[in-house]
Amino acid sequence: MRTSLASWTAAVVLLATSAHAQAPVQRLGGSIRANPPSGPVPRLPDGKPDMSGVWLGGLPVGDISAALAKGEAMPLLSETRKRMEAQKADDDPQAHCLPLPPPRFTPYPWRMVVTPTHVFFLYEMFNYRQVFMDGRKHPDEPDPTWYGHSIGRWEGDTLVVDTINFKPQVNFRGSSENLHVIERFTRTDANTILYKFTIDDPTTWTKPWSAEIPLHVTDERLYEYACHEANYGLEGVLRGARAQEKREEETSQSKKK
């Protein structure tokens, strides 16, 4: 089992962005080596790219600017910017050992399993995610979850995943329950997937926006992850939040006098 450091510190870990990174990739719990790009795209008997394996990387969880296309920016509504500026550290679900829904990735390895009817993402950190590949549509009646409802399809050699019905508590960069994520996974060689995604939420951004980043295969295995075990930092996060609430209450009371 990897040492479980404060879960909220994962929010400041920048994931590797270079498709040619061959040095060990720094992660909470130690250094993990991603394999360098090499060899042709592995394929299944039906000719589709084989996406299976243990992977590293994804959207940087601290500063996503590195993943934005040149000239691209997150077109925040003014109300969203104010809402984000008012957020506290413990408003992030991760601070409470809750899941990191797409397009956020954990700073630990994760496994992709592809079957004719499903794609499964098995995360070392927190949980798993499933994508329905059987041609179904999104449900008419929403049933929000942390990972949303995902349906997938193949467009040539690209796996396209469409996800809606997120819990409002997901709070991705100020998002609401209207968050809509479209992800594209394209395996470019034996050790790399190019991960592209488009984000839309008309109550958060003025228009949809996109980013991309490579994912790297690794020979690492997945370990058991117990979020609260030895998580001494969480106690400090919560103690600080309670102290802030107390100060705000005292300020409010003094204004009433």
Of 156 and 142, which is predicted with more confidence?
156
Separation CA 130–CA 117 (nearest Å): 10
The pLDDT confidence band at residue 15, using thresholds 50, 70 and 90, is: very low
Q: Give the rounded percent of residues in the chain with a pLDDT score beyond 90.
A: 38
Burial 96-118 (b: 16+ CB within 10 A, else e): bbbbbbbbbbbbbbbbbebeeee
pLDDT of residue 9 exceeding 50, the answer is no
pLDDT in tens, 124-140: 887 899 999 999 999 99
Pair of tokens at residue 201: 């939420």
Q: What is the mean pLDDT of residues 144-148?
A: 93
Q: What is the mean pLDDT of residues 54-75?
A: 73
pLDDT of residue 99 exceeding 70, the answer is yes
Tell me, what's the pLDDT at 242?
83
Phi and psi at 168, nearest 5°, equal -65, -25
Locus of tokens 């060899």: 39
> Angle 185-113-52 (CA atoms, 0-180°, nearest 5)?
65
Of 7 and 42, which is predicted with more confidence?
42
The pLDDT confidence band at residue 7, using thresholds 50, 70 and 90, is: very low
pLDDT of residue 62 exceeding 60, the answer is no
Tell me, what's the pLDDT at 19?
36
pLDDT in tens, 174-189: 788 889 999 999 999 9
Of 257 and 162, which is predicted with more confidence?
162
Spell out the residues 6+ positions from residue 69 whose beta carbon is closer than 8 angstroms to its own: 210, 211, 212
Residue type, 242: R
Tell me, what's the pLDDT at 233?
66
pTM of the predicted model, to two decimals? 0.76
Lowest mean pLDDT: which of 121-125, 161-165, 209-213, 232-236? 232-236
Q: What is the mean pLDDT of residues 134-149?
A: 93
Separation CA 170–CA 230 (nearest Å): 25
Tell me, what's the pLDDT at 230?
63
pLDDT of residue 145 exceeding 90, the answer is yes
pLDDT of residue 16 exceeding 70, the answer is no
Separation CA 153–CA 130 (nearest Å): 13
Of 65 and 121, which is predicted with more confidence?
121
